[in-house]
Amino acid sequence: MDDQRRLVVTGQAVSSPTMLFYFRFGWSLIHMFRSELWKDLVEAGSGGPTMAYGRGGGGRNNKGSNLLELVYLDPVSPYSLDPESNPKQEEKMLDEVILLDAYFSMFGMRVRIALAEKGVEYEYREQNLLNKGQYLLDMNPIHKKIPVLIHNGKPICESLIIVEYIDEVWKNNPLLPSDPYQRAQARFWADFIDKKVNDAGKRIWYLKGEQQQAAKEEFIDALQLLETELGDKPYFGGDKFGFVDLALIPFYCWFHAYETFGNFSTEEHCPKLIEWAERCEKIESVSKSLACPIKVYEFVLILKKKYGVK
């Protein structure tokens, strides 16, 4: 066996230079066992170092004092934990991320933006919302809705919960504020968007007459409150795109459909909010995640036909 793959500890009497070698080796061995190296080697290879007793000073078959050998059976050098030099270690460190989503879903867009902001690679699986597949039903048996993020086989549901999960797992480029009060405020406004903007927007294209008019007024009122909260800041959290921006911006590509079916102009009532939306669109993670407004409008036409809305 190559000397680089065998570590030998012996109690045999040796010369001073050899003793110096063993002293240095022993110190390295102690460091190894005090670190995470032993655990990593066991998990990354064929069980890590194999301990074997033998006789003699140079090998298991030579006669002499008892000998403890640590023989590494993994063909990859055990001295490096660099993933690039150890394919098995690299495989262990990789995350499997799957997103069950639909192109037109503003909730799915939130998750896509969050993953893009974090630089997370993932497998995208488009779902047919008019004919839901068994895998989606298995991954989200309670609500049976998208999006669903599947991280190493474990499903996480509901868009804002998924975004917070992403923010906690991948620490770079945080989306939520670090201050507890500001974080609570961000969650409040994201919840407001789901309860007010989403609900009123749906009723605009789904209803007619006085009910539609009431939905339009609620929609505009909600956006005006959000515009007031935005104030003169570039983004809701300040100078940086964050959690509330991410929660609201996917609705922007639905504005065309809302305005067409409701016969109104969002910009007329909320000009600063439109400026904010155009600013967000210049961010790569946003621009590549939002759906085309024309395609959203065409999709809503399909929904209206499905639900018998004229």
Count each helix (H run) and each strand (E run) in the chain, helices first: 15, 7
Q: How many CA atoms lie within 13 A of 298 on its CB side?
A: 6
For residue 252, the 8-state DSSP code is: G
Is the pLDDT at 12 greater than 70? The verdict is no
pLDDT tens sequence across 50-93? 333 333 344 433 444 333 333 333 333 333 344 444 444 444 44
Q: What is the DSSP letter of 12?
A: S
Cα angle 246, 162, 150; round to 5: 130
Question: At 4, which amino acid appears?
Answer: Q
Peptide linkage before 147 cis (omega within 30 of 0): yes
Per-residue pLDDT tens for 202-239? 999 999 999 999 999 999 999 999 999 999 999 999 99
Q: Is the pLDDT of residue 277 over 80?
A: yes
Shared fold status for 95-175 and 179-310: no
Angle of helix 209-230 relative to helix 198-206, nearest 10 degrees, comes to 150
Q: How far is CA 264 from the centre of its chain?
A: 37
CATH level 2 (architecture), domain 95-175? 3-Layer(aba) Sandwich (3.40)
User: Domain spans of the chain?
Assistant: 3-77, 95-175, 179-310
Task: Write out pLDDT tens, residues 103-113.
Answer: 999 999 999 99
Say how far apart CA 99 and CA 147 lie, in whole Å: 7
The CATH class that applies to domain 179-310 reads mainly alpha
